[in-house]
Structure 1
């Protein structure tokens, strides 16, 4: 197995059809952390013009799982996660920053802060999430 690095993480993300549909990208990966970004586009908005909550949930889920993969290895699956929406997501880009807060041999817990970035580069917190990720390796 090649070493886990940003290039491999992006290849894994690119192998997920839904991630390709959203045009998601991994911009940081390693040491218990991962950052996933999605550009805000009209087709990702809900009826009031805000980024759809499902896009935020996707970004939280995937960034949490990638962060956990840095601790558990590449074969991981989300066991569960929760997301709390702090404010409507508006801006040009969504950034999901996840970090492992605890890792054992077979599972990890990670949290994620989700920000929107405006045209001037200013960030606004729009949601927070926490999830549990399990190793899919057979023992």
Structure 2
């Protein structure tokens, strides 16, 4: 992982930024780790977040990947960042009680960062299962 210093950003500020996003509040997302080139976003899996087969909807997984990728990049580029694009590969249906999106900076320059994210579900026994992987490019919005 290659990342620059976190620009005096911390977990408390990351939580404020996430809480300023109405869609994140609607989903009940929370940041549980932030700094040193990484970020973790979690949300409780509720009935409203499932598709017709009972799995977490792919749109919810994409949301979690997008936000985690961007927050991770923010640790390297500073707080003003925007997703330039990302891809996601679904590897198995997402079932469990909690969705976890763990992202890290793979490489960061002055104006952009490449980030990757593992999306996992947590079951009632505390076991994690990988359900998707994502990779993205995030740009510094101020530069």
TM-score by length of 2: 0.94
Matched, 1:32 2:32: no
Task: Give a deviation string over 1:7-27, Cα, whole Å, max 9, x none.
Answer: 000000000000000000000
**How far apart are 1:3 and its partner, in Å?**
2.9
TM-score by length of 1: 0.97
The match for 1:79 among 80, 84, 95 is: 84
* Residue number in structure 1 paired with 2:58: 53
Flag structure 1 segments of 5+ consecutive residues without an equivalent.
none
The match for 2:70 among 36, 61, 65 is: 65
Task: Give a deviation string over 1:75-134, Cα, whole Å, max 9, x none.
Answer: 000000000000000000000000000000000000000000000000000000000000
Aligned length: 137
Flag structure 2 segments of 5+ consecutive residues without an equivalent.
1-6
* Residue number in structure 1 paired with 2:109: 104
* Residue number in structure 1 paired with 2:135: 130
* Residue number in structure 2 paired with 1:120: 125
SS at 1:21's partner residue?
helix
CA distance in structure 1 between the aligned counterparts of 2:87 and 2:127, rounded to whole angstroms: 26
CA distance in structure 2 between the aligned counterparts of 1:14 and 1:123, rounded to whole angstroms: 26
SS at 1:110's partner residue?
strand
CA distance in structure 1 between the aligned counterparts of 2:12 and 2:29, rounded to whole angstroms: 14
